[in-house]
Structures are given as C-alpha cells and as structure tokens.
Structure 1
Amino acid sequence: MNAPASEPVLSLVPVLSLVNVDKRFPGVHALKQVSIELRPGEVVGLIGENGAGKSTLMKILSGVYQHDAGEIRVGGRPTRFLDAADANSQGIGMVFQEQSLLTNLSVGENIYLGNEEQFTRFGIVNWRTLYDAAARQLAKVKVDVDPRARSEELDFASRQMVELAKALTLEERGAGHLIILLDEPTSVLERAEIEILFARVRALKSRASFIFVSHRLDEVLELSDRIYVMKDGAVVAERKAGDADVNELHHLMVGRSLQAEYYREPLQKPYRAEIAVEAHGLSLTGAYRDVSFQLHRGEILGIAGVIGSGREELTRTLAGFAPHDGGRLVVNGREVTLRTPAEAVDSGIGYIPRERRVEGLVLFLPVAANITLADLESLSRHGLIDAHEERRLATSWVERLKVRTPGINTLCLNLSGGNQQKVVLAKWLNAKAKVLILDHPTRGLDVGAKEEVYELVRAVTTEGLAVILTSDTLEETIGLSHTVLVMRDGEITHRTSANPGAKPRQVDLIGHMV
C-alpha cells in the first residue's frame, strides 16, 4: 500500500465549485442542491451507490448535460458548460471508465483527436509534428508507448495512461490549472497497475486537480485528500480522507454498516454430493498444466491467483473460449472439449464475464430480449418468437431478482451496473444453466449492489447451481466460496475449504500465490 496522498498546498480560491446545483429528468430528481468544491493540487473522492447522482454530476462537469439550477464556478468565475468542447476549453478533461480511445487509430491520433488543426496546413496533417507532440504528452505520464502504435495493440493499463495524457493536452490550449475527472479509472486494473496510475496522479498535482469517482472505497481513501459522499442525488457527507475509514464510508453510502455478513456467510449451505464438473490433469499449452478439481452441485469454487497464474485462462477454457489440449474435462457426466462458447452453453455452462457491457449484454436491446437471448429455441414457434411468453418470462425474472428497471422494454444501456449484472444472471438462469462461471462478477459495482449480487449467488447455489468464481479481491473469493484453489505459474499450489466460521485468512493464501 502506498503512503497516503501528501497534503497539497491549497489556494483560497477553489479551481472548481458547485453551489446548490440541481438537475431533473422526467420523473427523476437526479441532483438535489449539490455543493462541492475542488482546490488547486487536490484529489477529491466522489462516492455513492449506483443511482446516487455521481454519473449525472460528472456529465454536467464534462459538458454532456447542463444543470437546471444553481451555479458552477471555474476559478471563482460563474460559468455553464455548453458541451464537451466548451468544458475542454475551460480546462476540464475526463478519463473514462469505458475508455474513449478509437482502437483503429494510432495513439498520437487519439491524443489529438478533434484538435488536429494545429498540425494541419492547407489540409495536410504534419504527422511528424503531431507524433512528436504526442510523445511529449506521454512523457508527462511516464508511459513508454510509441505514439505511432495503433491503440488496439495496447493493454488496458497503457490505454488508461493514454487517456490521461490526452486530458493533459488541455494545458496547451491556455486553459490554466487543469481539472481532470477520473471516472472509475481502476475498475479493470491490477494492483501493480493501480499503483502506477496513482503515482502519476500524485506527480501531476502541481499542474492539475482531480475528481476521483470509484466504488473501491479503500482506493478512494488512499488517493484522495477529501471525500464527498452522495446518496439519492444529494451530498450527505464530506470527510477528510485521513479522518475516515471504509466502514464509515460504507455506512454513509448505504445507511448500514459493513459487517461480517457482507458476503452472506450465514446463507452458505453445504454443497451436494453430486458432481457437476471434473477436471483430470487439464492442461493448455503456455497457460496452465495438470489442473485437477471437482465442482459439486451447490458449491462455489473460488480460484485465486495473480496475473499470469493461469486462473483467467482456466475459466476461459470452461467457458469455451480456450479449448484445453491435455487432460480430461467432464461436465454433467459427459467428457467434453469445449471449442466454442456455444458448446459450453449446450453443456449447461453459463458465463458472466468481467466486461458485462461488452460480452454479457446487448446494450441496445431491451431487458426482456437480453434475458431470453440464451434460450430463444424454447420461445420459438415455427421460426417466430412467442412475444407473450417472452414478456411473461422476463417479467418473472425481473420480479424474482428485483431488477430495478422502468420496465422489461427498457434498454439495458440505461440500467445501473448492478441491475445490468442481474439481467446477465437472469439470462443464464432462464437458460437453465447448471454451472455458472462468475468472472469478476462485482467489478465496477458499489457496495450496496455487491451485497445484492452476493445474496443472489447464495440463493442460486442453494437451489443446486454450481459456481466457479474468480474475483477482483482475495477477500471476496474467500468470503463467497465453499472451496478455494490457489494457482501460481499455471499450477494449483494449494486448496482449502472455506466453511462458514472457518474461513482461511488472506495471509494464509498469499504465500501460495506469489
């Protein structure tokens, strides 16, 4: 863990302040008299459950929405952001959770996308000058990336640094002290990558101030100087990071304490004797080798390990994305080699991916269509979908899983992360999956949404569903699982039971991971 953020030298005039800002949508009072301020050289954390108003506030600050009432001041001067370009011109840049880079363009083209005119003469772009300028921006965030490389060739962490470099180009437009909005920038980063990002942010505090939105409360405490807590569209608390802890922030967000029952341990029931999945010496060249385990009905099997341990590739094998080339895999009593995701589905395996918005959902289809997507055959009558039956099934799952949505015809794009995850779960339950692979199932969810997911997972395992879990945190893996396998360098190095009241300690497992 890095040292706490150093206390910045603050001026009396905030670089950004919101005074009683209000925003309404039809039927929704999204922001209610919100007042916050950001000082020079400061990192302000912004936390709250999904639906608390964080996204609306960030969209107002980035120029996507305009506020209805109240006042926004930049450097003490009242202003209104007419659009994203106007927000940029006033020194506000944004690093997006989903990333805004166009992967078919080079790094340099992305950094100056929309601002190529400074390198253009008589309609011709001076590429050498553009790439030299892009290299200077990349140097600010200390990332070793060729500005001529295509963005799709970079890993996620490097693309996140390019996003940060892109935001820093606002300095060149005479915008003065920069304001950079960090929207869940760590949601798919590993710990080592997060530490690099945090180091870059701290180094940039002499030239920029930051608003840091994250669901990871420990990271908010680590990076921020002050923290604002939002609930139901309003700011309900402000804390200095040094005076707060995770339990207090959790309580302020959701109105209850973070307890030992967070992972619903009292709901963990013994698994059944019946075996759902067996692996015997399973291997995939270059990824893992000689992996053997049994997964029983009603069991949650957690797989722990660092990047490169082989656990990610193992779960992809079970989901049909990376067929094994050695050993035996038996699913529901039948030996299989899963060459495609469709074959995994046919074998009764459902997969909830870490990138639910990319791999788990069709965002521009309604809730009902997404829920029935994996089992259209049972809805088809003479080649046509039985719309009445689809509505009945979707309504039933929405009610059972308590999906918060205006209706089953609402596009999944418009749901919160937690409710999107419930729709993905409903899809596989509706398809009568017997085995469910949870690949980082709570990534990007707030603590309240995580608790709902944990409760649903406990409920479906009680009914006999078998679950394989890989998680963002070792704590979550231990808390949810019946059994934990630890992998290192492609091999299983340790296995242990994780019975209620006798969970292994994190420190007991870490030694087998590294």
Structure 2
Amino acid sequence: MSIEMEEKIVTPPPAPVPALEVRGLVKHYPGVKALDGVDFVVHQNEVLGLAGENGAGKSTLLKALVGLVKPDAGDIYVRGEKVRLRSVVNAADHGIGMVFQEQSLVPNLTAAENIVLGSEGAGVRGGVYRWDRMRRLAQEQLDKIGSPIDPLARTDSLSFADRQMVEIAKVLRIEQRSQHPPVIILDEPTSVLESKEIETLFAQVRRLRAFASVIFVSHRLDEVLDVCDRVTVLRGGRSVGDVPTADAAPAELHRMMIGSTGSDDHYHDTAFERSGEEPRPRLVVRGLSGRTFRDVDLDVHAGEIVGIVGVHGSGREDVCRALFGAEPTTAGEVTLDGDALQLSGTRAACSAGIGYVPAERKIEGMVGPMSVADNMTLTRQRARCSGPLVSPRKQASLVDSWISRLSIRTPHRGTAIQRLSGGNQQKVVLARWLVSGDVRLLLLDHPTRGLDIGARSEVYRLMRELASNGVATVLLADSLEEAIGMSDRIVVMSDGRVTAEVGCPSGAKPTPLDLVKEMV
C-alpha cells in the first residue's frame, strides 16, 4: 500500500511591526540641510541608541518625532500606521514622549502635579485637585520605574537625578492617552548625573524595556554601548550605520560618526607643553568661604590648567561661581597678578579679565534668540564699537574671524545661536571671552557637557592653545578622565573643603581611583 505524503508548507510568522519607523525624513533650514533622507527603525521593547556629532541632525530628528518640527519630506510610522505629528500633544496621543535635555518640570509644584500636568483626568473635579487621586495617579507611574520618590514632594527639593525620574514618570502618562506601549525618547539624560545616579537611571531604562521602546541619545559612547540593544549613527543629516551593540566598539562608532578613524588620545597632553611657570601664581585664593564651601586655598599660574574634582555637593561649582562674582562669599582673599579682587559681581570680574563658561549653557551662557555675533560680543561691547556707537563693519570682521578660527558651523553671523548645535553654541560662548584678548583667568564649568567627541576635541585644543598663550584656567571637568587628561594639577574637594592636591605631569598622570580615594 502506498501512502502519499502531502508536503507541508510552513509559513513563517509575520515580523513584528516596528514601534516606530522613519523613512526618508528631510528638513531644510536657511543655509542648512539638517535632515537629508534619514531612515531608522525602533523595534518593540528595544533600547535604540542614537549617536552622531553635534550638527549631525539628532536634535532635529527628535523634534520631528515629538511634533516640534514639521519635516519637508519623508514619512513617520507608529506601529505600522503612517502619522503626521503636528504637536507634542498629538505625538503623545500616538504614544511618543520625550525627556528633554533641559528639564521641563515646574519647580514649585509637587512631583505628582508635574507628572499628571495636562492629563489630570480623575485627579481634578470641578476645577479642584483631588489630592488623594492625584497622588495615586502619580504613584502608579513612579511604581513603573521603581522610584521611591514621594509624589507630594516639591520638585525643587529633589536632586537632579530624582527630577529626571519624575520626567520619565511624566512621560509614561502617555500610555493612558494612546492605549499602546509607549515610545520614550531620552535626550542626553546623563549629562549632569554622577556615576551612582547614572547607574540608577540605567536600571530604570532596562526596566522600561519590558513595556516600552526607548530611544537613548548620549554623546558618551560607552553609555550607549552599555544600555542599548542597537545603535543608529547619523552624520551630516543622514543615517550612515546601524549596528548591534554586541558587535560595536567606541572606536568603530566614532569612525562612523566622523567618517574617519578617531584617536583615543583626545586630550593631546603634549600638544602645548609649557617651558616653566611664573615665579608667582597668577591667581591666589586664601581662606575663601561661602554658603557651601569654607577655607579654600587655590593657586593657578599663568599658562596652567588646574582641575577641581569632587562629588555632587563638594562645593566646587560654587567656588568657581564665587571667583566670577556670581556667588556670595563670607571670608577670604583673592588676588589676580598681585592685585586684590573685590568679588562684588560679574561686571567687576569681567573688568578684571576673568571669563566664565557656565555648566548650564542654554540658561546662563547664551541668549537663544540673539544672533551668533551679538552673543559673541555680549560682554565685550567695546570690541565692536567705534567711539560710542556699534560699528557693524567692525563687529562683522571680528566675529567672522573667530567663526573661521574656531570652525564654528553657522549659516551666518546673524543666525540665532539657538539654531546651532550644542558644540557650536559652546564655541561661541568660549569665543566671547577671547574677542578682546584681555582674559587672564578662565573659569570653565563642565565646558564639554553634552558635546560629542569631535566638539570636545576642539574645546580641548582651544584650552591648550589658551594655556600656551598664558591664560590661567580653572577646570571643572565632565569626568575624572577628562580632568586627568587636561589638567596640570588637580585639587580635590569634599564637603566644601580642599582635601588634596595631586600633580598631573605629562607621562605620570594619576588614575581615577587615586582621586576617588580623596573625594570620599
């Protein structure tokens, strides 16, 4: 008896629909093509890293995904459905939310109020808050990420890391709007966090993966490789690569970002060696005390870069601000080239030849709607004047020369600085103190925060060049590695006091562990 066997055709299951997909996205600005046909895909329950130099198009892409920018061409698909995202609210209706690099919380409201703001629902009745219900709504979101924050705590009483958790919990409320697993965008979420806070954030990101998709943006490539499943790289407004993090390395990602092989030595330790020090320090600080620091002694010679390191709350940021007259002091003496300084305000500091680059670039370092030219000459009005009047020709010549010298990428000197990438904004802020040529002391508070490798290297090169020209520099670095790589000496602070001073000669640099021992 013959048995006829029927051939069975096994149909593979359909591929899961991506949580988010972008096809051929294009966006033009005057003189700039920010996006030039970007393609990328975010799978469900995936953490996708988005990497690229400043100016690569990341910010424009993210703004398009949350409805803040209208693309000129291309399509966006959410769970397979083609959508037009016209506003942040519209994007939230489709389940897309973003934790912005500059936090968007209202400081004098509670965490609960911030979390449910704009989507109070049952938390409000007759225009009046139902606090028990509000607290439960907020607690539900905080529980999703395992956060112990009290929903009724005022937001301005929380640490930056805890406020970041509130931002994430706030974004998770979009789940109630769309009834779909959310897509969460984290834009530089670690830029001002300490190492322990970063570990906490990463734990929450991994927890999010269980019920959401995440787009993680960071200039720290080691973080991208640590927390992401895949990395998409943008360069010049285009998608140039997509690799699983298991198969990637920082050097390879850097090569994709800049189009060539990068060097691991970004600090260029021997680029501007100095033959010797002045017999007397340029800056002498003795017994300086203030709200968060006390009895601080500090010497900085002309042409020397001195780093100050310490954990959050060590007082180092306030010391830096005090030297610029932006933080009150209660005791101590400060001299610059032998002349006593009266730390009465920032105007006096500028007149004395002190420059300051703040950590919060967008808040304290620049005026967003003003032009590149006006921001660059903001504290040096005489440099652009002929007599009592502003000379447009003199300003144009001065500004254009610094744009060229620092390779600032801007369509025009009249372009609003807020239209530039973070790295180019920082170059403009640095140039502000260079246009008159009379800066003797430069205070740098996290000058490379939020910058990519290429932009950081440019800032390092400029710092070395200024040092070689005799500028004394105080550096609050973005990492211990940066402090070690760039400093000639390092001062360690803990609980508002100087606890150690460590030499950093070329070829005999300390290790991060050497510094940590003095910081705790």
Within the candidate set 452, 459, 468, 2:474 is matched to: 468
- Aligned twin of 1:14: 18
Within the candidate set 312, 317, 322, 1:317 is matched to: 322
The answer to whether the aligner puts 1:442 opposite 2:448 as a matched pair is yes
Q: Does the Cα contact within 8 Å between 2:503 and 2:509 map onto a contact in 1?
A: yes
Within the candidate set 428, 434, 451, 1:429 is matched to: 434
- Aligned twin of 1:164: 168
In structure 2, relative to structure 1, the CA distance for the partners of 1:105 and 1:508 (3 Å cut) is closer
Matched residue type, 2:69: Y
In structure 2, relative to structure 1, the CA distance for the partners of 1:511 and 1:103 (3 Å cut) is closer
- Aligned twin of 2:58: 54
Q: Does the Cα contact within 8 Å between 1:11 and 1:40 map onto a contact in 2?
A: no
- Aligned twin of 1:3: none
Matched residue type, 1:110: N
- Aligned twin of 1:506: 512
Report the Cα offset of residue 26 of structure 1: 4.5
The 5 A counterparts of 1:103-502 are 103-270=107-274, 272-273=277-278, 275-284=281-290, 286-289=292-295, 291-377=296-382, 379=384, 384-431=389-436, 432-502=438-508
Report the Cα offset of residue 367 of structure 1: 1.4
- Which structure is larger by alpha-carbon Rg, 1 or 2? 2
- Stretch moving more, 430-439 or 146-155: 146-155
Matched residue type, 2:448: T
In structure 2, relative to structure 1, the CA distance for the partners of 1:152 and 1:486 (3 Å cut) is closer
In structure 2, relative to structure 1, the CA distance for the partners of 1:66 and 1:284 (3 Å cut) is closer
Structure 1 unaligned spans of 5+: 1-9
Q: Does the Cα contact within 8 Å between 1:436 and 1:467 map onto a contact in 2?
A: yes
Q: Does the Cα contact within 8 Å between 1:47 and 1:229 map onto a contact in 2?
A: yes
Aligned partners of 1:387, 1:70: CA distance in 2, in Å? 41
TM-score by length of 2: 0.90
- Aligned twin of 2:7: none
Aligned partners of 1:378, 1:174: CA distance in 2, in Å? 55
RMSD across aligned positions (CA): 2.4
Deviations 1:426-478 (A, max 9, x none): 11112421100011000000111111111111111111111010111111111
SS of 2:48's equivalent in the other structure is strand
- Aligned twin of 1:40: 44
Q: Does the Cα contact within 8 Å between 2:55 and 2:420 map onto a contact in 1?
A: no
Aligned length: 504
Report the Cα offset of residue 187 of structure 1: 1.1
Deviations 1:107-162 (A, max 9, x none): 33332232245544555554543343123223333334444444334332222111
- Aligned twin of 2:103: 99
- Stretch moving more, 53-62 or 438-447: 53-62
Deviations 1:187-237 (A, max 9, x none): 111111111111112112221110001111111111101111111112211
Deviations 1:287-344 (A, max 9, x none): 233x333211111111122223332232222122334434432112112341322222
Aligned partners of 2:123, 2:498: CA distance in 1, in Å? 54
Aligned partners of 1:451, 1:378: CA distance in 2, in Å? 28
Aligned partners of 1:268, 1:150: CA distance in 2, in Å? 48
Identity of aligned residues (%): 45
Q: Does the Cα contact within 8 Å between 2:408 and 2:424 map onto a contact in 1?
A: yes
Deviations 1:93-112 (A, max 9, x none): 11110122233444333322
Structure 2 unaligned spans of 5+: 1-13
SS of 2:312's equivalent in the other structure is coil
TM-score by length of 1: 0.91
- Aligned twin of 1:6: none
